[in-house]
Chains A and B, each alone.
Chain A
């Protein structure tokens, strides 16, 4: 138990569906992250929020839409996804965005796009 929870753990969706991934951290951290983990690729940083403000968007397609209503919660809204978006989506949190703070990861959501 890392203090970061993610729901759902598994998600199968069609290309026309709309779904959301949820992340919650109970660590009092100020920074939250979304990563995509695909086979044979390094962890890809998608979005970073620091004190609820988005500080980084790594050229992520608009079919992925993040939302950070407060420092404890992070969502990733999905719509019109493609099969190549199938991957493990990991949420992480850290004390803040800067420096080499330890990142605490959730268990991930395994997403399959049909």
Chain B
């Protein structure tokens, strides 16, 4: 059974600050997704990373897949209140394995 950890579990910051959240595991993954879930809604896909060491940018969000493909990070620059939500990492082990979800990081950006 793979152990999947997301940290921190809760984060409250002021608008304009930078932050990084992490997704770590003891297992190697084929690829990994990040989803954001806003209050009262279901999760929405932000990005999929598939190559070790890969970096993807989505406006102020930067996603990195670790070289060993066991971990990933999400960095937000100049956070805005609209970034508030639950950030879920969802790795996939490949083959017929199902996608699993981490517990998430709950981010609150205060205006």
- What is the interface of chain A, defined by CB distance below 8 A to chain B? 2, 4, 40-43, 45, 48, 56, 90, 92, 98-100, 102-103, 105-108
CA distance A40 to B33 in the complex (A): 20
**Pairwise interchain contact B101-A42, C-beta atoms closer than 8 A:** yes
The residues of A that contact B40 with a CB separation of less than 8 Å are: 107
The residues of B that contact A48 with a CB separation of less than 8 Å are: 98
**Pairwise interchain contact B103-A40, C-beta atoms closer than 8 A:** yes
CA distance A42 to B98 in the complex (A): 14
Query: Nearest CB to that of B9 among chain A residues?
Result: A40
B30, B44, B101, B102: the one within 8 Å of A2 (CB) = B44
CA distance A90 to B99 in the complex (A): 15
CA distance A100 to B37 in the complex (A): 18
**Pairwise interchain contact A90-B42, C-beta atoms closer than 8 A:** yes
Interface of B is mostly: loop
The residues of B that contact A108 with a CB separation of less than 8 Å are: 41-42
**Pairwise interchain contact B92-A105, C-beta atoms closer than 8 A:** no
Tell me whether B4 is interfacial, beta carbon within 8 Å.
yes
Q: Which 9 A-B pairs have the closest CB atoms?
A: A105-B42, A43-B101, A100-B92, A42-B103, A102-B45, A100-B31, A105-B43, A42-B101, A90-B42
A40, A45, A90, A102: the one within 8 Å of B48 (CB) = A102
The residues of A that contact B33 with a CB separation of less than 8 Å are: 100, 102
